[in-house]
Structure 1
Amino acid sequence: MADLRRLCRDQAIGPDQLWGWPIERLGQALAWPAHCLRDVERYRFERGAAPKLDVPACALLPGDPDWPCCLDDLHSPPSGLYVEGDRSLLRHIHARTAIAVVGTRSASDHGLAMAEELGRGLAEAGWPVLSGLAEGIDAAAHRGCLARNGAPIAVLGTPLDRVYPAHHRSLQQQVGRQGLLISPSRSGCRVRPGHFAARNRWLVAFAQALVVVECPQRSGALISARWASRMQCPIWVVPGDARRWSCRGSNALLRDGATALIHPEDLLASIGEGPLRSEESRGKHQRLMEAIGSGATFDQLVLRLQCSPAELAPQLLALECRRELLCESGLHWRKPRP
């Protein structure tokens, strides 16, 4: 599968187009053993030139334009993904411009509050928030992100048509409407314990940084941390009560060299503005420059943009500092002459 994914990526084609390649061309491109090529030819003969495949609309397969190429470098990547929600967020998965927040299902009040605050802060800064939609820390991070109209991305250990835990049905639906749900399992598949362990690995593969809020010594969050260490993904950890069992695993990560996260602002100061905020800023900039046209007063701009003076003033000041705008007498703003 890895060879096929690479070939699709290099040739900028999908698996459906590879299906029609002559066996000689496939052999030259893939360098597979003769017996493998014979099996491929026999299978294609049995299925026909245009096989009818039961591929659901929510499926994302290797070679598809939206397939996250960050999975191609992993050992045993998923054979496919199933997605629901805003597919435009897949580009942030592909580029690894999202922040993963993980932790225990049995979190302390402090851990839950920190996870929710992180979700809110990351959303406000324009970062997609990755988590597993599990009880405890995962759910708190997603709720914080949703509360600030952010972009939550949930990587599930179940198929899209299953909800675990069951009382997260409403939360999963909200994430699917406002953000993105991702599962490596097709609907109707039996859920196995290994699916949740694999989910912890995919989270890291999609993330620019990993935040472990709180976890005990045996936890899926520690699986994510181990993978993050192997993938050279930065690990941030919220210090916890040294006497509480649910903090022993996360505190051990601090002892092993993870970066302590005392306040969410520390993380935001390190990673900067997120990709979603950058897009929003570009949109505001374009609307403001269009509203100025050949020149406009401050009051005219407030009316044209339908915004408050308090919101408009810092935007104009920032553009003046960058010499993209000039302020003349009477608070008249115009673009510099060429």
Structure 2
Amino acid sequence: MRQLCFAAAETPQGFQDLWSWSLPRLRKEFGWPASVLSSFDRYRASHGLAPCIEVPIDVLLPCDPSWPACFEKLERPPLSIQWHGRRGLLPLLSSQQAVAVVGTRRPSSHGLRMADKLGRALAQAHWPVVSGLAEGIDAVAHRACLRAGGSPVAVLGTPLQRVYPTEHRSLQKEVGQVGLLMTELRDSERVTRSSFALRNRLLVAVTKAVVVVECPENSGALRSASMARSLGIPVWVVPGDALRASSQGSNALLQSGALPLNNTQDLIHQLGAGPCICSVEDGDSFALKSERPLIPNPVQTHLLKLVDDDFSFDEMVQALQFNPERVAAELLKLELQGLVVAQPGLRWRSL
């Protein structure tokens, strides 16, 4: 496809000229084998000398001005891209003005909290958040980005019309409405296990930085990190519990030179302001803002910090020096405000 695009750019009428080339010239120019030439000749004969072939509006080809230029750095660039959502995000992806957040499908509570904080912090700093819409870290980062009014970008391992896992149907729909969905798989293509591994190269290629929140050994997130390094893209890693299998892969990345991410603000400070500030697409402003209301109650403010630090209920009681009934009442208020959600083991997670 790249050869065709380059050749078309050098002819007066582009692809129309290439369509009329003789088979010997096509063989000489592109080195196509006899089987490809035969298939092309039959296809050309069935469409005539002046075909009217329209590319669907939700399909990008390498010759399209909106085609992400960063894909050309890949050893195996996609032949086409199917997309749905805000077209205005495509130029940002082409210039790698986005941040990927990846990790395991089975994260710890610490991993969930960090993915949530990252998705929210990046959205508030006006950075598109890229992930794969998988279970675990991916989904949490996307949901946090959405709640903060951000721009989520999901690179799928399935065609656009399919949802995997099926539980993410509403999440995928919301990402497509507010942000962008993209895949290299056409609607008719079969999904295999390798489809999800292959999509990681596209996910990484459009980003300025890759953040690995938590992952075990042999995780797809490790392949994403390896791909990022090969493309010269910085890899940040959240240090994990050395005793948890779900952190073994991500901790190994730290030993091999990845940047440690102990605080989300360290990443934001390094990245600077994102590209979505005061951006406007089709007349609709999508400047980002946090949905978290101001909380005048100092007790609730302190509670939110304890929740983010993964304190248990008993530890909160001890830290605040209040009776359990008072702490439970304040936590209930935070739940009703949509600021925290209860977790097993008398713990809470901030939203």
TM-score bracket, normalised by the shorter chain, equals 0.7 to 0.9
Structure 2 gap ranges (5+): 284-351
Quickly say closer, same or farther: Cα 1:176–1:14, change in 2 above 3 A. farther
Quickly say closer, same or farther: Cα 1:3–1:171, change in 2 above 3 A. same
Identity of aligned residues (%): 49
1:136-181 per-position Cα deviation (integer Å, ceiling 9, x unaligned): 0000110111011111000000111111111101100110000000
Question: What corresponds to 2:186 in structure 1?
Answer: 186
Q: CA deviation at 1:189?
A: 2.1
Which residue among 26, 30, 33 is the counterpart of 1:32? 30
One-letter amino acid of the structure 2 residue matched with residue 164 of structure 1: Y
Q: Aligned equivalents of 1:18 and 1:262: distance in 2?
A: 57
Structure 1 gap ranges (5+): 284-338
Query: Which residues in structure 2 correspond to 1:1-338 (within 5 Å)?
Result: 1-7=1-7, 16-17=15-16, 19-20=18-19, 22=21, 31-33=29-31, 43-51=43-51, 53=53, 55-277=55-277, 279=279
Q: Aligned equivalents of 1:199 and 1:166: distance in 2?
A: 18
Q: How many residues align?
A: 279
Q: CA deviation at 1:270?
A: 0.4
Quickly say closer, same or farther: Cα 1:171–1:18, change in 2 above 3 A. farther
Question: What corresponds to 2:300 in structure 1?
Answer: none
One-letter amino acid of the structure 2 residue matched with residue 173 of structure 1: K
Quickly say closer, same or farther: Cα 1:187–1:32, change in 2 above 3 A. closer
Query: 2:189 is paired with a residue of what secondary structure?
Result: coil
Query: 1:276 is paired with a residue of what secondary structure?
Result: coil
Q: Aligned equivalents of 1:252 and 1:63: distance in 2?
A: 40
1:247-273 per-position Cα deviation (integer Å, ceiling 9, x unaligned): 000000000000000011000000101
Aligned-residue CA RMSD (Å)? 2.8
Q: Aligned equivalents of 2:167 and 2:83: distance in 1?
A: 21
Contact kept, 8 Å, 1:5 with 1:72, in 2: the verdict is: no
1:292-329 per-position Cα deviation (integer Å, ceiling 9, x unaligned): xxxxxxxxxxxxxxxxxxxxxxxxxxxxxxxxxxxxxx
Q: CA deviation at 1:31?
A: 3.5
Q: Aligned equivalents of 2:20 and 2:139: distance in 1?
A: 46
Q: Aligned equivalents of 2:199 and 2:279: distance in 1?
A: 29
Question: What corresponds to 1:335 in structure 2?
Answer: none
Q: CA deviation at 1:85?
A: 0.5
One-letter amino acid of the structure 2 residue matched with residue 189 of structure 1: E
Q: Aligned equivalents of 2:70 and 2:10: distance in 1?
A: 17
Q: Aligned equivalents of 2:88 and 2:178: distance in 1?
A: 12
TM-score (norm 2): 0.72
Quickly say closer, same or farther: Cα 1:78–1:254, change in 2 above 3 A. same
Query: 1:210 is paired with a residue of what secondary structure?
Result: strand
Query: 1:191 is paired with a residue of what secondary structure?
Result: coil
Q: CA deviation at 1:16?
A: 4.9
Q: Aligned equivalents of 2:71 and 2:55: distance in 1?
A: 20
Contact kept, 8 Å, 1:158 with 1:164, in 2: the verdict is: yes
Contact kept, 8 Å, 2:3 with 2:30, in 1: the verdict is: no
Q: Aligned equivalents of 1:112 and 1:11: distance in 2?
A: 51
One-letter amino acid of the structure 2 residue matched with residue 121 of structure 1: A
Question: What corresponds to 2:346 in structure 1?
Answer: none
Q: Aligned equivalents of 2:135 and 2:59: distance in 1?
A: 26
Q: CA deviation at 1:279?
A: 3.9
Query: 1:100 is paired with a residue of what secondary structure?
Result: strand
Q: Aligned equivalents of 1:222 and 1:112: distance in 2?
A: 18
